[in-house]
Amino acid sequence: MAKKKDTEQITRHINSPNVMGLQGKILEQPITETLDANYMPYAMSVIVSRAIPEIDGFKPAHRKLLYTMYKMGLLTGSRTKSANIVGQTMRLNPHGDAAIYETMVRLARGNESLLHPFVDSKGNFGKVYSRDMAYAASRYTEAKLSPICAELFRDLDCDAVDFVDNYDNTMKEPALLPTTFPNVLVSANQGIAVGMASQICGFNLGEVCDTTVALLKNPDHDILSTLPAPDFSTGGQLICNNEELREIYRTGRGGIKVRAKYRYIKKENLIEIYEIPYSTSLEVILDKVAELIKLGKVKEINDMRDETDLSGLKLAIDLKRGVDPDKLMQKLFKLTPLQDTVSCNFNILIAGMPRVMGVGEILNEWTAWRTDCVKRRVYFVLNRKKEKLHLLKGLKRILLDIDKAIAIIRETEEEAEVIPNLMIGFGIDQVQAEYVAEIKLRNINKEYILKRVQETAALEDEILDLEDILSQPRRIRKIIIDELTAVRKKYAAPRRTEIIYDHEVEEYVEEAQVDNSPVHLFLSREGYFKRITPQSLRMSGEQKFKEGDSLRQSFETTMAEEIMFFTDRCQVYKTRVSEFGDSKASVLGDYLPAKLGMDDGENVIYMCLPGDYSGNMLFFFESGKVAKVPLQSYATTSNRRKLTGAYSDKSPLVELMLLQEDEELALYTNEPRALIFHTALLSPKATRSTQGVAVMTVKPKYRFERVARPADTGITNMSRYRVRSIPAAGALIRPEDSDEKQLELL
């Protein structure tokens, strides 16, 4: 029983009479044997033949597609329909046309998945940064190989790599592509196998070539000095931490923070995001931002939309008035995939075995593999030259007596005896004799034969040189370095991902959640301020003020609101209601000049709740001028508490007020005269210190002294004092329109 429990045996019914003669019997088999016999081959196939890239930087699907395109002549020829390429590739790849075409899409220039695409595409191949931007069907698109593919196939016909049978043994395909540069680090690659995965981020081609050359010259080279960070085809900003990068370079595992790039367009008050992290997509970002807006965690955004077009990626964010774009982006970086971590897991197949390696180890493995490719290529060329030299040595024997060779051929009765007779006559082997026998009649002259013989000396020198290369590792390294230098010069491109260092990044710190409960605010004429909760206000008696003091303003608002205090020194102080403590009606409250750190002798003259900074401030001066300043002029992108130059000091200020919507106002001078005008006649001024425009013409010995809403005055005949244009002198106040009459009625 214990054995049965330990092995977790499974049972199955065998219906076949040929299986051990147990028809209708139950056959018990341990689950471990079933997994080993059935699941293990599948797992190994996925690991070795599908999901994990090899040292040339390709998975089998990539390699089969590119090799097929190479054999179709698409490296130098014109484009052909993608459907044609897919059909031809099925001779090597049995996984179906959809899988093959998806592989081509990712390798294509139009998809922008790779820093150096291998497929020169024409048509819609989708975008790596969009989930919903689908690629067109293969019958509509066209493709050929990009010029950089010449570096993949250069040594393919020189026995640089092994060739293996395809799935049905009808043709050969390369086991690896002899890349002349470390494509395994240049081309981003990811795959999920069984029990393991691989995720290789791309690096800049020029930097990879420089690093490989430096390591070939000095094995102790500091990789970080020439390979500062990964590079991504979608750009963005990489937040660099040298210690973390050094650990990734050493172990092959870790994570790299990448954030989007944006620009603020002040004229339209919007943010344009034009590069995003490689690991996310436009739709994921839009969905996350929409979710945050719905939850009320992001209130600064009016609208966010995808404006991607032929010119490239673009996400537009419309801001509310007064929003600091940099602060908002810091918040979005923290809460959305606009800043994301790209995982690194450098898992690569080496000799059929998966290994997680650091960058230095990968480059060393690639160098060793590339060294073997170069040796095989040199050995292949060496054998070809030796074969040619052997033929020329046979031809040299003919030079001694051309007539004898002709005579032997003419006197031989049977064709089959020509070769043996030449071998006997000149002491040459069969290969040499066949070469001589195949020489055209027109070439049997001394000039032709002498030219061929003169090649012998050059061939012997070349053979000696090739043998010297094979015997000296230093010369092999020199060949690899020269190839890397040529690749860098021809194909290297500037970095797409900008590097910023972590100490330069300002992290978003979420502000403490302020209680949004209602409160009552009271400001006295001498600058005492009280914040009282509704409950406390109901329980309190009469408001207490200092002797000779009285109430100036009072508001009902919430704890989270911002508040502004204008002073008699043309300054404004900004703070929040939450920064004051709860008070009671029976106390004097906070003395604002001390609480806000005002200048000596400075006094508060007006309290304002800006809200979303809509509306205007009106400033009334003794000269009869009125300044209409947009409240937005007092919005700041930082947490500044004090603004100087809040209003003009050219004429004494009589009164100020917050105007949310244009309305009629009544102005009074001490003559006494009155004037009723509509504030729509005033145009807003861009600067806070503007003197405004003349509204009421004031005689020299008089002055403007107060403003009120017409309904709050004693004026009964409004039309007498109403004006349609400014400036105006107004009209003398009649007794029936005076405030004294109104007081008598009360």
Q: Tell me whether residue 140 is one of the annotated catalytic residues.
A: yes
What the block records as the tokens of 492 is: 């290297």
Separation of alpha carbons 528 and 714, rounded Å: 31
How far from the centroid of its chain's Cα atoms is residue 55's Cα?
A: 27
Separation of alpha carbons 656 and 651, rounded Å: 13
What the block records as the tokens of 211 is: 């690093």
What the block records as the tokens of 414 is: 């049977």
Q: One of 140, 262, 274, 501 is an active-site residue; which one?
A: 140
Report the alpha-carbon angle 336-337-340, nearest 5: 125
Q: Which of 524, 568, 531 is nearest to 546 (CA)?
A: 524
What the block records as the tokens of 373 is: 């490719």
Report the alpha-carbon angle 153-154-160, nearest 5: 85
Separation of alpha carbons 317 and 265, rounded Å: 10
**Any residues with CB less than 8 A from the CB of 243 and at least 6 apart, and which?**
none
Q: Which of 300, 322, 269, 323 is nearest to 632 (CA)?
A: 322
Separation of alpha carbons 271 and 33, rounded Å: 61
Extract the runs of DSSP E, i.e. beta strands, from 352-425: 353-356
Q: What distances in angstroms separate CA 39 from CA 9, 36, 310, one per listed residue?
A: 16, 6, 47
Separation of alpha carbons 172 and 74, rounded Å: 19
Q: What distances in angstroms separate CA 490 from CA 154, 231, 493, 685, one per listed residue?
A: 15, 19, 9, 58
Separation of alpha carbons 507 and 151, rounded Å: 43
Environment class of 613 (CB within 10 Å of its CB; exposed 0-12, middle 13-18, buried 19+): middle
Contact yes or no for 56/350 (Cβ under 8 A):
no
Separation of alpha carbons 479 and 539, rounded Å: 93
Which residues share a beta bridge with 254?
344
Which residues share a beta bridge with 270?
265, 318
Separation of alpha carbons 138 and 83, rounded Å: 5
How far from the centroid of its chain's Cα atoms is residue 738's Cα?
A: 70
548: left (phi over 0), alpha (psi -120 to 50) or beta: left
Instruction: Indicate the pairing of strand 172-174 with strand 163-165.
Output: antiparallel
Separation of alpha carbons 319 and 269, rounded Å: 6
At which residue do the structure tokens 């010029």 appear? 147
Q: Is the dihedral of CA 638, 643, 644, 647 positive or negative?
A: positive
92: left (phi over 0), alpha (psi -120 to 50) or beta: alpha
Environment class of 659 (CB within 10 Å of its CB; exposed 0-12, middle 13-18, buried 19+): middle
Separation of alpha carbons 352 and 363, rounded Å: 18
Helix (H) or strand (E) holding 559: none
b/e burial code for range 238-261 (CB count within 10 A of at least 16 → b): bbbbeeebbebbebbebebbbbbb
Contact yes or no for 212/484 (Cβ under 8 A):
yes
Instruction: Indicate the pairing of strand 625-630 with strand 616-621.
Output: antiparallel
Name the residues annotated as catalytic.
140
